[in-house]
């Protein structure tokens, strides 16, 4: 008997989040064999490898990415020569510790995923049904000389996939964000903090800066007087009595410098300064920490004049 050739082509890769995030790799395959033979698939095994590319040039070495699992909702079925292509799908676990190593190695390059797929089948000779189980390697439809299927993923697409599987969404389990205590004088500031988080998650970096600035500005007006500005003088008055003068002065300087940084996001700041997502993250974490610290002081009433 003649096993023929199995050809496969990987389609658009998709990322899925959840309890166990994964990449979904759709695959279309066709069987080229004698017209008198068909393949009854009994098992499939697949492994994924990764290499990197820049300017179309592949890196010299690749790395094992992990096992791929056949979609449990799919069907292996049978393959007949001359029939239209069959659609399969493989699930590649998106282990975040592995992705961290990938990102350290990738260094802004494109990604090339390679699937090595072994298909175990019973060649069914339509005239002689005595054939036993045989194993075939699925070859790339574009380059049949390769005993594996590949798909190139641009760096922009790769970043979308990372986001889809939740990579980078750290929740700081070891050093959690400090809790902001409920203090009436901070109610308005908390609304601005909430707005800042919403802007940040939407990727609006400059608006994140502005909302953080509004939070500290509102704090100064609510805690000192309506005409107060968020400067060192206002923060020193807010912090009075929380410790020795030297500590109060240093903390007030930190709050004042933070406010100065946040002012970069205001429209009236000239000339405009380019801000990116890293800057917005820093601004948000600093502001959250400052408000949380102030909420833990005993200054729940307006600072004394």
pLDDT in tens, 150-203: 999 998 899 899 889 988 654 443 345 667 777 777 888 888 988 888 887 677
Are the C-beta atoms of 26 and 8 separated by less than 8 Å?
Answer: no
SS3 annotation, 74-117: CCCCEECCCCCCEEEEEEEECCHHHHHHHHHHHCCCEEEEEEEE
Average pLDDT of 220-242?
Answer: 85
The tens digit of pLDDT for each residue in 90-136 reads: 999 998 888 888 887 887 789 999 999 998 888 776 555 555 777 88
For the CA atoms of 218, 224, 230, 235, the dihedral, rounded to the nearest 10 degrees, stands at: -120
pTM: 0.55
Average pLDDT of 13-38?
Answer: 85
The tens digit of pLDDT for each residue in 284-304 reads: 999 988 888 888 775 433 444
Report the pLDDT value the prediction gives residue 300, as an integer from 0 to 100: 38
What's the mean per-residue pLDDT of the chain? 83
Average pLDDT of 257-272?
Answer: 83
> Is residue 45 predicted with pLDDT exceeding 70?
yes
Average pLDDT of 218-226?
Answer: 85
């Amino acid at each position: 008997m003649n096993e023929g050739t199995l050809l496969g082509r990987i389609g658009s890769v998709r990322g899925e989040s959840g309890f166990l995030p994964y990449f979904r790799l759709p695959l279309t395959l066709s069987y080229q064999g004698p017209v008198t033979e068909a393949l009854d698939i009994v098992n499939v095994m697949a492994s994924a490898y990764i290499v990197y590319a820049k300017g179309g040039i592949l890196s010299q070495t690749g790395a094992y990415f992990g096992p791929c699992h056949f979609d449990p909702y799919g069907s292996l079925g049978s393959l007949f020569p001359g029939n239209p292509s069959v659609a399969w799908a493989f699930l590649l676990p998106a282990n975040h510790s592995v992705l961290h190593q990938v990102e350290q190695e990738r260094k802004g390059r494109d990604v090339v995923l390679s699937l090595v797929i072994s298909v175990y089948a019973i060649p069914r000779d339509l005239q002689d049904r005595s054939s036993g189980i045989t194993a075939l390697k699925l070859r790339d439809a574009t380059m049949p000389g390769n005993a594996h299927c590949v798909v190139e993923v641009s760096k922009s697409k790769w970043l979308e996939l990372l986001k889809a599987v939740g990579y980078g969404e750290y929740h700081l389990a070891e050093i959690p964000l400090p809790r902001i205590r409920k203090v009436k004088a901070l109610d308005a500031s908390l609304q601005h903090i909430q707005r800042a988080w919403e802007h940040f998650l939407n990727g609006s970096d400059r608006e994140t800066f502005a909302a953080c600035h509004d939070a500290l500005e509102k704090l100064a007006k609510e805690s000192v007087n309506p005409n107060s500005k968020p400067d060192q003088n206002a923060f020193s008055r807010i912090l009075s009595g929380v410790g020795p003068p030297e500590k109060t002065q240093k903390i007030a300087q930190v709050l004042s410098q933070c406010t100065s940084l946040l002012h970069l996001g205001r429209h009236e700041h000239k000339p405009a300064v380019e801000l990116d997502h890293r800057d917005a993250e820093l601004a948000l974490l600093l502001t959250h920490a400052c408000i949380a610290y102030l909420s833990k002081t005993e200054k729940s009433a307006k600072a004394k004049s």
